[in-house]
Structure formats: C-alpha cells, structure tokens
C-alpha cells in the first residue's frame, strides 16, 4: 500500500529570526537603521519576538543604570 503524506505546515521562525529580532531591537535603541533592512525585518521577524526582546532590553538597561548609580553612590 502506498502512504499518503499530508503537506507540512509552514515552519515557525527559527533561531535566525530570534537573532534577527535582537539585532533589530539593538539597532532601534541606538536609532540607526537602513530602510532596506527595515523592510526585510518586517517580512522575517515575528512581532512577539520584538516585543519580548524589547522588554528584556529595557529591563536590562534599567538594571544596568541602577547598578551603576548604586556603585557610584
């Protein structure tokens, strides 16, 4: 008997998408971004990844600033 295979569902964004999200958030915090890179990110990056990476980056920045102030004072 011949087995019938079902079509595979589209794959979820992998590790490259997460790394791309980190890079996009880092560049956006600095404020520098190419237009072509921005358009490519719109197609490849999942919005939830950007939100999570952005929140982690902001909390990390605040923690770093608090530690710096605590160290100086």
Report pLDDT digits (tens) over 3-60.
666 655 454 545 567 888 888 888 888 887 778 877 888 788 888 888 999 999 999 9
**In this predicted structure, what is the pLDDT of residue 28?**
81
Q: What is the pLDDT of residue 7?
A: 57
Going by C-beta distance under 8 Å and a sequence separation of 6 or more, which residues neighbour residue 37? 24, 27
Placement of tokens 């490519």 in the chain = 40
Do the domain assignments include residue 5? Answer: no
Q: Which domain holds residue 42?
A: 15-72
Say how many domains are in the chain.
1
Q: Are 27 and 53 in contact (CB under 8 A)?
A: no
Establish if 43 belongs to a structural domain: yes
The answer as to whether 7 is a domain residue is no
| pTM across the whole model | 0.64
Confidence grade of residue 61 (pLDDT, cut at 50, 70, 90): very high
pLDDT of residue 5: 63
Provide the token pair at 15. Answer: 């590790």
Residue 47 lies in a domain: yes
Domain membership of residue 10 (yes or no) is no
DSSP 31: T
For residue 65, tell me if it sits in a domain: yes
């Amino acid at each position: 008997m011949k087995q019938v295979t079902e079509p595979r569902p589209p794959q979820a964004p992998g590790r490259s998408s997460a790394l791309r999200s980190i890079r996009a958030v880092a560049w956006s915090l600095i404020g520098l971004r190419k237009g072509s890179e921005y358009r490519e990110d719109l197609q490849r990056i999942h919005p939830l990844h950007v939100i999570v990476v952005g929140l982690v980056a902001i909390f990390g920045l605040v923690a770093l600033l608090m530690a710096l102030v605590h160290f100086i004072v």
